[in-house]
Amino acid sequence: MKISYDSEIDAVYIRLVEGKHECRTLRLTDEIALNIGEGELLVGVEILDAQNVLGAGDLPQVVLENIPFTVVEPIAQ
C-alpha cells in the first residue's frame, strides 16, 4: 500500500494494489473516487480537495495496526 499527497492539486491517493491495472472509476462524491480493477478489485482511493475533506491543517495521523511497513524518504520536488 502507498499513500501519497500532491500539494499542488491538494489530492491524496491511497494505492492498495501495486502494479498496472485497467480500472474504472466509481465516484462516491465530487471529491472521493474509487478505482476498481478487474474482478471488482479495489485498486485505489483518490481524495480531491484533501485538506477540506480530511480537515484543515496537517494531514491526519496514520495508524498502522499489525501491518509491516517501510519508511521511504520523500522525493525532492
Nine-digit cell string for 41: 478489485
**Tally of domains within the chain:** 1
Query: How confident is the prediction along the chain (77 residues), in pLDDT tens digits per residue?
Result: 888 889 899 999 999 998 899 999 999 999 999 999 999 999 999 999 988 888 766 666 777 788 777 777 766 65
Please tell me the predicted confidence (pLDDT) of residue 45. 96
- Helix, strand, coil content of the chain in percent (nearest 5): 10, 35, 55
Please tell me the predicted confidence (pLDDT) of residue 38. 93
* Domain range for 72: 1-77
Give the predicted TM-score (pTM) of the model: 0.74
